[in-house]
Amino acid sequence: MHMRLFHKNLGALAVASALAFAVCGAQGQGAAVPQADDLSGYIEAQCGGGIAGRLRLVRVDTSGVVSSSNSWRTDPVAIGDIDPARVTALWQRLDAAGFDTLTSPPRGRPIPDGISCAIVRSVKDGPLHAITFPDIYQTTDPGLIETRKVMSDVQGIGRSVAQETP
């Protein structure tokens, strides 16, 4: 994996991602996988909360560029590359789960120090769709189970990029 390191404005990224976290786009039948040269299509995993109000963001775009950042480190945003076929596989898993037709599960009783997570998918000139998972959530819905697994896989890609960045 070829790694690069860019100094990005973490505040702007956090604000943009927080906005994406709060917004759910129109519901559809599944988004077509953008072409690899279309850098505006992406899947993003976000987790935030806890006493310190931490936020961790991992974005994988359709060309295979991965950006990973968190609010508790002063390091620059870690940037790396993965095979675009891996992104296509994640995209297809979300489609198979019916991602664009799913809605966020209801939030239960708030938990002190609770951390909520979300997965966002955006397509150029198309709808943005997000699913937010509350602090502790259990479900038997296969679509939500698979969506949560994809979110976890995206987070794992981000951890890998952050560890491999010099």
**pLDDT for residue 28 is more than 50:** no
pLDDT in tens, 80-90: 899 999 999 99
Mention every residue, 6+ apart, whose C-beta is less than 8 A from residue 88: 33, 62
- What's the chain's average pLDDT? 74
List, as one string, the DSSP characters of 72-126: T--SPEEEEE--HHHHHHHHHHHHHTTGGG--PPPP-S--TT-EEEEEEEE-TTS
Q: Please give the residue that has the higher pLDDT: either 107 or 164.
A: 107
pLDDT tens per residue across span 133-145 = 876 667 788 999 9
Which class for 58: exposed (0-12), middle (13-18), buried (19 or more C-beta within 10 A)?
buried
- Domains of the chain (ranges; CATH) run 3-164 (3.30.1560)
Quick: pLDDT tens for 48-84: 887 777 788 999 999 999 998 877 665 667 788 999 9
**Mind listing the pLDDT tens digit for each residue in 99-153?**
999 988 877 666 667 788 999 999 887 788 999 887 666 778 899 999 999 999 9
What percent of the chain lies above the pLDDT cut of 70? Answer: 66
Q: How far is CA 13 from CA 31, 97, 132, in A?
A: 24, 28, 18
Take residue 90 and report the two structure tokens written for it: 């994640």
**What's 66's DSSP letter?**
E
